[in-house]
Structures are given as C-alpha cells and as structure tokens.
Structure 1
Amino acid sequence: MLKLIKKSSSKIGIDGAIAYTVLSRIIQAGGGVITLLFVARCLTKVEQGYYYTFGSILAIQIFFELGLSGIITQFVAHENANLTWNDQTSFVGSSESSSRLASLLRFTVKWFAVLSVLLIFGLLIAGYVFFNKYGKENVAVNWQIPWIILSLTTSLSLMISPILAFFEGLDRVKEVAKIRLVQQVMQLVLVLLMFFLGFKLFSVPVAAIISFLVFPIWIFFGNKKKILIFIWNKLDKWGVNYRLEIFPYQWKIALSWISGYFIFQLFNPVLFATEGAIVAGQMGMTLAVLNAIFSLAFSWMSTKVPVFSGLIAQKEYDKLDNLFNTTLIQSTLLNLLALTTLFGIVFILRHFEVKIGGKNFADRFLPNLPMLFMMIPILLNHVVASWATYMRCHKKEPMLIPSVVIGILCSVSTLTLGNYFGVLGLTLGYMILTVIGFIWTYFIFRTKKKEWHNG
C-alpha cells in the first residue's frame, strides 16, 4: 500500500519537500475555511475589515526584505552544488564555495537583524497613522494593542527568514517545509482557540507570537545550530561581494517585489479608505482564500528552486526544462481545479442564501462578478510566477520593467477606478492589467530562455 502511494505521488510530482509543503498549504487552506467561519461568527463586519487590512499593511515588510531571502536560497544552492555532505552537520569540497557560504551567512544574519529593528518602527508608525485617519468612526474597535503585537511578530519573522532560506538553499527544503508545517498547525489551533474564547482581534496576534517560537527552538535545540556554526567558521579569503554580486541582481528583484505590493496589497487599504471597513472585509476574505489556493498550487514550483538552481549551475538544461514543464502543468491544473471549486461553492451558498450561525456566509465574500475578476488573475499569476522563478534561478532578473510598469498601472487603476467605480471597477482593471502582464511575460520567458541556453 505504501509503495502504491509513493508511486502515485511520484507520477503527480509529489516528493518529500512538496508533500510537507502541500500538506502545510492544505492545512492552511482547510484551516483558512474554518477560520473564515470563525471570523464571520466572532467578528463584526467592521472588525473583519480591520482583520484583513492588518495583513495588507503588514506586507510593507516587502520594502525592508526586498526579495533578499529568495536570492539567498539561489546563491546558497549554487555554492552547495560544489560541496559533498559527509553527514548532517559537515561537508567537504571546494574551499572557495565553503568560504562563500560562510560569507553569505554572516552577511545575511547581520543585515536582517538591522532590517528587523527598522521594520517594527515602520509598521507601528504606518498602522497608527492609517487607522487613526480612516477609522475614526470605529471607536469601539480595539485595534491598537493587536497591531503592536503583530508588528513585533512580523519583525521577528523577518529576522529568522534568511536562516530558513539558507537551509532551503542547502537542499534542506523538506526539513524547512516540515517545521513550517508544525508552525502552521500550531498557529491555526491557537487562532481558533483564541476566537472561541472571545479574543476577537487579539486572536491572530497572540497565536502568531506563540507559534513563532517553533522556529528558534528548531534552530537552537537541534543540529541546525551545529550546521550554522560549521559554515560560519568556514570563512576564508573568498567571499560574496554584496555590492558587485548581489546588489546588481537584488535591486531589480526589489523593484519587482515593491511593484508586487502595489499590485496585490493596495486593494484592502483603498477600499477601507473609500468604501469602508465592510467592503474591505469582503475583499480581504476573498483574497485570503484565493491566496491560499495560489500558495498551495505554487508549492509544486517553489520547492524546486534549489533543484532548478543546481541544474543551471551544472548546465543540465534539458533536465531543467523537463522538470519545469512537468511541474508547471501539474501545478496549473491544481490551481484551476481549486478556483473552479471555490467559485461553485460560493455561488451555491449565495444563490440558496445558506446561513451559518444565523449569518449569510456568502455575503462576507465579494459579489460573483468581482470575485471572478479576481480569480482569473490568480490563475494567470501562477503561470507568470512560475516563469519568473525559472528565470530568476539563473541569477538574473528580466522581470524588472514589466513589474514596475504593471505595478504603476495597477496602482493608478486601483486608486482611480476604485474611487469612481467601486469594487467592480477596481477588480476589472486589475484583471485587464494581469492579462497584459501575462502576455508580456510569456515573450520575455521565451526570448531569455533561448538567449541564455544557446549562449
């Protein structure tokens, strides 16, 4: 029976790393549905608006992290391809690669420690200014202390993110996925418990700060600490020059990520400011499910980054393309199936006015047409993100101009159409721009792939 399961899993592209990551995403998606029920039952529509707008403002951490975690994984994977591990805590191989790994580790730990301190102050100020300006009429909502706790947890998570990225680059994707799964389950259980006990907006902050402790315990009370110390002490005359090697790549990634913020995270704050907390809550709940679907399907692709990077370092382009194409087909079909199922469920709930806990659950989502306008981009963005991942594993960033242009256009579209035509205009404009970005990215992908591999 076990052999049959393994054989079937292999056919659809599920290895150990994907299994844990997908299980985490399934728990996240399934738990997300349960959480949606708790949000609808335990929070008012106004509190729901705060709940989801919190997440959009917390996403300003993009301006501090600037895509560096993903770059770390790729750089580490390229160096790790030249090393042979003796056991779980030591390796032999190229002295240059060993030294460069040590250099990378030292740089990222110091750099992210500074960024984390800056981030907490940035979040506290941004949240205070925004919610005080646009939420004055909601005097009954206690958002201040939950916001402080969330800001602290987000900053701590930023501090630990380069370590997790480092281990993924060392081809420990399965282990990292496993510990993320443990953290995910723990946070979900705590969130539901907090909601049940009536903690309201305090539920997620309290659960987040407690479940965060899983990561430092995993690092400092296992052999991961020994690995980090071993690599830390491998520093020799070779090092990674941030200014010459990472920055020329990172600034392009950073602009792409910043553009992504203006594409994906402006919806809730704009709707909160223009149409109120209730509509922002509908957008937030819709996006929560759609992002869970995107994350679940993209797990097939994201867990392959170290493998892609290693094949590129060894110039095994045929193997690279075979693996990428298979993974893209599998993950895209999963994305499409999940989106179709979601739309069908919400449509039925809305059509028959199904009530849960005495409340019309479907009303917590966007209306059918705006929701469809948000679902189509989720499918297209999955393919775009896959193409971008493939290209970035070459330690290049050809997506800079499209990301910036689409980001600017999407910001203008969201601010203008959202202001004049409400949620319908906002979502329609987003869908049209996503189609344009999809076509643009396809031509870049084809051109760069031929250029790099033939060269």
Structure 2
Amino acid sequence: MNQQNRYYSFFINKLGVNQEILWSGYNQLWAILKGPISIFFIIKYLLPNQQGLWFTFINLGALKIFAELGFTMIITQFVSHEFANINDFDKKLGTNDSGLSKLVSLIRFSLKFYLKIVPIAILIMIVVGYFYFRNESKDVFFAWIFSSIVGGSSLLISVFQGIYKGIGKVKEVQKNLFLGSIAMGVGNWVLLIFKFNIWALVFGNLAGILIMGINLYARDTKFWSTVLNYNLTKKYNWFSEIIGLQWRYAISWASGYFIFNLIVPVLYKFESAEVAGKYGLSMRVISAFIGISQAWITTKIPQFNFLVAQDKFRELNSFFKKSLIQSFMIQILFSLFIVLGLYVLSFWSEIGYRFLSLKYIVVLLLIQIPMQIVNCFAIYLRAFKKEPFVIYSLVNAFSMLIASFLILPEFGFNGMLIFLLLVYWLGLLPYATFIFTSKKAEFVNLNIRG
C-alpha cells in the first residue's frame, strides 16, 4: 500500500471521513469564506442605511423557521423508517409494492402539508414586514414582499431535501446545498456590483433556490416521477402520527431559535455595539468549524433511522458510539485550531481587534462541548421517532433568558459567560445524560416488545 492509500485508509477507518462528511465540510468552509467576501461587497456597494436594511431583511427572513419548527427533521425520520423496510428500492420504483406505496403516501402527505404551510408563512412575513417598513419607500416594501415569497419557497426546497436525505442521499443533499450556497453568494455579489441594492439579496437568493430545486429533481427523475404518478390503492393516516410528534419538535425548535439568536441583540443593548460585533464574528467562526465536527453525527441520521427501523440495536449503539467519539475528537482538534489561529491573528491589530479576546474564545469553546454532546444524544433518541428533550429545551431557553436579562446587566459579559459555562457543564449536561440513558433503554425495550 503506497503512502497516499495509507493516509486515505486512516481517514476512513480512524476518523470516519466519508463523502457525506467531506461535502458537509465543504459547505462549512464555504460559509467561512463567503462571510468576509459578502461583508466586503456590502461595505463597498451599499450606503450605511442600505446596509442596515440588508441585515434587517436577513434577520426578519429567519422568521420562516416558525413555520417549519422541526417538520423537515420529522419527515426525514419517518421517510427513513419506511425506506429501511423496502428491499431493492431502485428495482421497485414504479412497481406495485406495499412498502413503496406507504412511502409514497408519506411523501405526498408532507408535500401537501407544506403547500398549506408555505402561503401562511409568506403572509405572516409580509404582515410583519409591513410594520417594519411602512415608513420606507414602496420599493423597499415590494422588495420585502418578493423576499417573503422567496423565503417561503425555500421551505419547499427544505422538505424536498429532507425527503431525499431520508432515503439515504445525504451526499447528494450536501452537494445541492453547496451548489445553492455558491449561486446565492455569487448572485448577491454580482447584483451588488450592478447597483441592485436590496434587490441583489432577493434575486441572488432566488437564483440559489431555483438551482437547488432544479438540481434536486434532475438528480433522480425516476424517483420523483414515481412520487408524482404512483397509483395509491390504500389511504394512510399520517396526520395524527406526525402531528403528535410535531408539537414536541416545535417547542424544541422554537427554544433553539431564541437560544442561538438572542445574545447578539442583548449584548448590543446592555454592553455595546462593539462587543456585540466581536461576539457575532467570533461565534460565526466557531460555529462554522464546530459545524464540520457535527457532520460526523448529522450525516449519519439516515443510518441511525434505518437501524432502528430494522431493530438492529446492537449495531446502532456501536455505530453511534464510534460516531460520537469521532465527532468529539474532531471538535477538540478544531477548537485547538481556532485558539491557535486567533492567537496568531491577535498580532495583527486591525484584524485581531475584531474578535473577542482569547480567554472569552476558550470559554465559548468549552461551552460548545456539552452543547454538541447533547445534540448527539438528541439525534440518537429522535431516530426512534420520539422527542424526549422538550423539557430540556425549555430549561435551556430559560437559562439563556436569565443569562441575558439578569446576569448580563448585573455582572457584565464576564459574568454571563461564567454563568453559561457552569449551567451547561454542571446542570444541562448531567440532565441531558440522565434523559439519554433512561430513554435509550425505554425506547429499545418498547421497540423489542412492539
């Protein structure tokens, strides 16, 4: 075996690197590159008030998450469970098979459900935008209406990708996301050069969504044609089964939105715009690299679902343990890389000054460790089509509210970070570990008896 093959074998066997993880890594690395490039174009081609409008559009656009609230994750899990019970899937496409029929009915249900949700999401975003932009020019409000339609349409792309991921096409989904992200970024930049201003954001995002949608369908036309044209002879009641889980996911997803999006505006209010900016930029770098380490778990979601559906719990536990260890190892390596990289940047005052000091970076990285472990626990248990982390999510969100509105104003940024560090390591991680160990045994036993 030559040197190159030995390195490849090491990555595959020891670190568990595969095509899914590589493409997920490309997405995260592109996000790291895209951020500074976008900032350059925004500063160069937009006036200060236009820059504020740009970021307001982005932040308000995030409201669409409240229309989704974890539904895509649920569909991925349910599709995986149905797909796992179909042998020779490609050969059965277009045939009269009971397993395929059930899978098609599930996919059609999810698409019909989203076709009802998307117009509601668009309407809510337009109404909220009216109160934000009613004193702006008509061009701004029209741009927001169009942006709302584009944002709502992106939810359909999300559910298509959730379905595709559910049948094990994780690599294809990551490739599609990568292609769409490049199209959006380049589209935004080119249109800014041609003075489209806020419309550059709208049309750039539209270009990315169209490319993702077309590419997703073109990758497997036989599959999507089967979904559209299959003759169902039996009805399945997916609504009661899925909605019974949806409300639990909704609580977790809504809590997560506030957990990850609250600190910057609170720092802006109680500390300063400078501290808020340093925190936002530092967390963008941390999140991008930590996101790569999470790929060792998130790209395995369909496999976890398949193993649960097939009652292969010994293989599931072994596979999860290996993936968890690999993810943890990569997270530690990237954490050290971030500390070293920012330490080097600190010698260039113009760049290093834009980030938090290293002591704060270290604390934030230490907080990320229990957060990622808990995320891995949640992914494992959700493979059983359950959501046992509802109370945990509420406690987590409540802790963030205390940190933001009680600890920060009284004890400052230092006090808030120390509070969160103690909460995650001494409170939330032990609580999540208890949930994981108890529910893991319970869910396995229920499946065995079932």
Q: Which of 247, 258, 265 is the aligned partner of 2:261?
A: 265
Q: Which of 423, 438, 451 is the aligned partner of 2:442?
A: 451
CA deviation profile, 1:348-379 (whole Å, cap 9, x unmatched): 323541xxxxxx22333334444444332223
Tell me how far 1:404 sits from its aligned partner: 1.2
Between 1:204-213 and 1:246-255, the stretch displaced more is: 204-213
- Aligned match of 1:335: 331
Give the direction of change, closer, same or farther, for the CA distance of 1:261–1:431 in structure 2 (3 Å limit).
farther
User: 5 Å matches for 1:127-276?
Assistant: 129=131, 150-193=147-190, 204-220=201-217, 222=218, 224-232=220-228, 233-243=230-240, 245-274=241-270
Q: In percent, how many aligned pairs have the same letter?
A: 28
- Aligned match of 1:113: 115
Between 1:284-293 and 1:30-39, the stretch displaced more is: 30-39
CA deviation profile, 1:279-322 (whole Å, cap 9, x unmatched): 44333322322221232111121111111111111111121112
CA deviation profile, 1:158-190 (whole Å, cap 9, x unmatched): 122111111111122222222222222333334
Tell me how far 1:115 sits from its aligned partner: 2.0
- Aligned match of 1:104: 106
User: Quick one: which amino acid aligns to residue 160 of structure 1?
Assistant: I
Tell me how far 1:118 sits from its aligned partner: 2.1
Tell me how far 1:52 sits from its aligned partner: 5.8
User: 5 Å matches for 1:44-123?
Assistant: 55-85=58-88, 87=90, 90=93, 95=98, 97-123=99-125
Give the direction of change, closer, same or farther, for the CA distance of 1:14–1:53 in structure 2 (3 Å limit).
farther
User: Quick one: which amino acid aligns to residue 186 of structure 1?
Assistant: A
Contact 1:380–1:434 (CA under 8 A) maintained in structure 2:
yes
User: 5 Å matches for 1:14-25?
Assistant: 14-25=17-28
Q: 1:368 and 1:98 mapped to 2: Cα distance?
A: 54
- Aligned match of 1:287: 283
Corresponding position: 1:361 with 2:351: yes
Give secondary structure in 1 for the equivalent of 2:32: helix
Give secondary structure in 1 for the equivalent of 2:436: helix
Q: 1:400 and 1:203 mapped to 2: Cα distance?
A: 39
Contact 2:24–2:174 (CA under 8 A) maintained in structure 1:
yes
Q: Which runs of 5+ in 2 are unaligned?
A: none
User: Quick one: which amino acid aligns to residue 364 of structure 1?
Assistant: R
Contact 1:48–1:277 (CA under 8 A) maintained in structure 2:
no
Q: 2:420 and 2:96 mapped to 1: Cα distance?
A: 49
- Aligned match of 1:378: 368
Alignment RMSD (CA, Å) = 3.4
Query: How many residue pairs are counted as aligned between the two chains?
Result: 440
- Aligned match of 1:391: 381
Give the direction of change, closer, same or farther, for the CA distance of 1:5–1:24 in structure 2 (3 Å limit).
farther
Contact 2:281–2:354 (CA under 8 A) maintained in structure 1:
yes
Between 1:82-91 and 1:22-31, the stretch displaced more is: 82-91
Tell me how far 1:4 sits from its aligned partner: 5.0
Corresponding position: 1:320 with 2:311: no
User: Quick one: which amino acid aligns to residue 164 of structure 1?
Assistant: Q
Q: Which runs of 5+ in 1 are unaligned?
A: 354-359
User: Quick one: which amino acid aligns to residue 370 of structure 2?
Assistant: L
Question: TM-score of the superposition, structure 2-length normalised?
Answer: 0.85
Contact 2:133–2:141 (CA under 8 A) maintained in structure 1:
no
- Aligned match of 2:397: 407
Corresponding position: 1:29 with 2:19: no
Give the direction of change, closer, same or farther, for the CA distance of 1:373–1:43 in structure 2 (3 Å limit).
farther
Give the direction of change, closer, same or farther, for the CA distance of 1:395–1:342 in structure 2 (3 Å limit).
same
CA deviation profile, 1:422-448 (whole Å, cap 9, x unmatched): 544444443333332222111211122
Q: 1:41 and 1:364 mapped to 2: Cα distance?
A: 19
Contact 1:98–1:235 (CA under 8 A) maintained in structure 2:
no
Tell me how far 1:326 sits from its aligned partner: 1.3
Give secondary structure in 1 for the equivalent of 2:174: helix
Q: 1:384 and 1:15 mapped to 2: Cα distance?
A: 23
User: Quick one: which amino acid aligns to residue 239 of structure 1?
Assistant: Y
Between 1:186-195 and 1:16-25, the stretch displaced more is: 186-195
Q: 2:287 and 2:210 mapped to 1: Cα distance?
A: 25
User: Quick one: which amino acid aligns to residue 440 of structure 2?
Assistant: K
Tell me how far 1:63 sits from its aligned partner: 1.7
Q: 1:437 and 1:331 mapped to 2: Cα distance?
A: 20
Q: 1:415 and 1:384 mapped to 2: Cα distance?
A: 25
Higher relative contact order (CA 8 A, sep 6+): 1
Corresponding position: 1:302 with 2:303: no
Contact 2:346–2:353 (CA under 8 A) maintained in structure 1:
yes
Question: TM-score of the superposition, structure 1-length normalised?
Answer: 0.84
Between 1:282-291 and 1:67-76, the stretch displaced more is: 282-291
Between 1:77-86 and 1:65-74, the stretch displaced more is: 77-86
Q: 1:83 and 1:21 mapped to 2: Cα distance?
A: 27
Contact 2:176–2:216 (CA under 8 A) maintained in structure 1:
no
CA deviation profile, 1:100-151 (whole Å, cap 9, x unmatched): 222222221122122222223333444565689xxx9xx9xx9867755553
CA deviation profile, 1:207-238 (whole Å, cap 9, x unmatched): 32222211221244x26344223134242324
Q: 1:100 and 1:120 mapped to 2: Cα distance?
A: 31
Q: 1:43 and 1:275 mapped to 2: Cα distance?
A: 27
Give the direction of change, closer, same or farther, for the CA distance of 1:235–1:281 in structure 2 (3 Å limit).
farther
Q: 2:257 and 2:403 mapped to 1: Cα distance?
A: 14
